[in-house]
A and B are shown apart, each in its own frame.
Chain A
Amino acid sequence: MTQGLRKYLKILRISLVERLAYRADFFLTTFLRFLPLITTFLLWEAIYRGSGTDQIAGFTRDSMIAYLLLVQISRMFSSMPGLSTGIARDIRDGNLKKYLLQPIDMLWYLLSYRGAHKIAYIATTALPYGVLFLLFHEVFTLPSAWTWVAYIVSLLLAFLIGFFFEACIGVAGFWILEVTSLMYIINIVNFFISGQMFPLDLLERYPYVLDVLNVLPFHYLAYFPAMVFLEKKQGTELLVGLLIEALWALALILLSRWMYRLGLRHYSAYGG
């Protein structure tokens, strides 16, 4: 009798542990993912408290938090983890042949693959992000319909810039070996110059640095869409910004295709 009971207690214990493990997995990783964001908020609150002002580089405390949240959305669209290293690996290992033997173009194939991947990713993370935005809903003021349109356009262009920039680096793998290291360095610099760390306006004391960063495509990956949503880019500034973003997207598409074609010639000439 006691033995039978003990057996069922053991089964109960095992299945309980199992269930808890799976839920703990989900909650723990979600919690960890949001940690950097939360600590950054707290850091900024401390800075606002310490500075004694309400405005830092044109940002109130609320709009700063809104900015940091919106940058996450920008990166949801523009980050392409593993894209360039994947392309470079395919080139080096000779896996490229699968694209050459089949009637598909590698870059367009990867673009559609990434697109689908992004949609799935955004769908699965919608819930935790939704909760987070709901928690911080006070810091947002909903923008006008036109701003929404501009915001979505800027995000889609950010996706294209993110994709084709990484594609260019990956295709450079035809000529250089160390794409992984290069990407490491670019990612770190990008974290800073795309405005993920803080709004670029904080560099207002160094206007030439700002000018350079505004010409480069990187701030479109994080900073620009967030600023559009916050309606800090308006009128001609907004239109010019979007135009340059579109031009960058186009330029990177053309550059990556040109590099790819050149690389293929190089590849077949030297027999992969």
Chain B
Amino acid sequence: MWRYLKLWLSLAKFSLLGEMAFRGNFLVKIFVEVLWLAILLVFNFTLFQQTTHIENWDVNQYLFFIGCYFAMGGLIETLFLENCNQFADLIRTGDLDFFLLKPIDEQFLVSCKHIDWSCAPNFLLGLGVMGYALWTSGWVLNYSQIFAFVALFISGAALAYGFLLLLTSASIWLMRNQSLYEMWWLFTTLMRYPREIFSHGNWATPAGFFFSFVIPIMLVTNVPARMMVKTLEPSWLAWYALGSAVVVLIVSRYVFRAALRRYRSSSS
């Protein structure tokens, strides 16, 4: 465990050094993300000129949700997305072989090799938006609430990582022509909005249930955000989110190994 932490720190350091070799690129990427956040916020304010609530989320609560989504997205993109995106390339070029030769867990090496520091500011921007939303809504400091939020945010990140790994593994024999980036972006549409928008209509309600409890992608952002600015309903949702994170992590590891096995028996 300690060994993996040390290795991860080295990888993080060398990723940063590598990134610094192309500072221009780094700055452009950050600029693009700031721009994207600005557009999201403008969109958000335009919507709230028309209505005071979106479902039962008021403007500050909704802003907090956006911040939470942005921070979550930034975290996943920084740590894992670029790595998983390269997986298909590693298979196509055969460079995956080098990963398999090392006396290190393959999943760790494939999904953690490169830390994409240029996405890290997203995480900070998201934190900033969340902080601003709390401040304008007159939130009073509450340590146990913060602790619960952090725990649920991490569990949400673990859940998202599990789904990303599943999608990555599936991309070996499904979706061979699509980029993982695009697929992940499309899939995470489901964590971009409060769960409640899926609570009306004869097909949206079952879909909302499906993506909350069967494939719980919506819980990734909904549970931590709700924990902080609203109340969790039902109250066992936090435990459900934690439990599903564990289950999805285990299942995704199993599927990833199956994908590797398949690669190793079909390639030459």
Contacts A28-B174, A43-B197; A50 near B52 (Cβ below 8 A): yes
Contacts A25-B175, A46-B196; A192 near B39 (Cβ below 8 A): yes
Is the interface on chain B under 10, 10 to 19, 20 to 34, or 35 or more residues? 35 or more
Complex formed: what's the CA distance from A185 to B27 in Å? 12
* Residue picked from A33, A36, A46, A191, most chain B C-beta under 10 Å: A46
Which of B82-90, B184-192, B222-230 forms contacts with chain A?
B184-192
**For residue A50, which residues in chain B have a CB less than 8 angstroms away from its CB?**
51-55
A 37-70 binary contact with B (CB < 8 Å = 1; else 0) = 0010011011101111100110000000000000
B 179-204 binary contact with A (CB < 8 Å = 1; else 0) = 00001001101101100111011001
**For residue A32, which residues in chain B have a CB less than 8 angstroms away from its CB?**
183, 186-187
Tally of A interface residues using CB under 8 Å: 35
Query: Taking the complex as formed, is A144 at the interface, i.e. its CB lies under 8 A from any CB of chain B?
Result: no
B50 touches A56 (CB 8 A): yes
Query: Taking the complex as formed, is B93 at the interface, i.e. its CB lies under 8 A from any CB of chain A?
Result: no
**For residue A35, which residues in chain B have a CB less than 8 angstroms away from its CB?**
186-187, 189-190
B189 touches A188 (CB 8 A): no
CB distance from B138 to the nearest CB of A (A): 22
**For residue B189, which residues in chain A have a CB less than 8 angstroms away from its CB?**
35-36, 39
Query: Taking the complex as formed, is A267 at the interface, i.e. its CB lies under 8 A from any CB of chain B?
Result: no
**For residue B54, which residues in chain A have a CB less than 8 angstroms away from its CB?**
43, 46-47, 50
Query: Taking the complex as formed, is A203 at the interface, i.e. its CB lies under 8 A from any CB of chain B?
Result: yes
The DSSP consensus for interface residues of chain B is helix
The DSSP consensus for interface residues of chain A is helix
Query: Taking the complex as formed, is A202 at the interface, i.e. its CB lies under 8 A from any CB of chain B?
Result: yes
Contacts A39-B190, A189-B35; A29 near B51 (Cβ below 8 A): no
Contacts A33-B186, A197-B43; A51 near B32 (Cβ below 8 A): no
B176 touches A25 (CB 8 A): yes
B 100-125 binary contact with A (CB < 8 Å = 1; else 0) = 00000000000000000000000000
Taking CB atoms and an 8 Å cut-off, the chain B residues in 28-60 that contact chain A are 28-29, 31-32, 35-36, 39, 42-43, 46-47, 49-55
27 contacts between A and B (CB under 8 A): A21-B174, A25-B176, A29-B183, A32-B183, A32-B186, A33-B186, A35-B187, A36-B189, A39-B192, A39-B193, A39-B197, A42-B204, A43-B54, A46-B55, A46-B197, A49-B200, A51-B51, A53-B50, A56-B50, A178-B28, A185-B32, A185-B35, A189-B35, A192-B42, A197-B39, A198-B46, A205-B49
Chain A to chain B: the 4 pairs with minimum beta-carbon distance, closest first: A50-B51, A51-B51, A181-B28, A32-B186
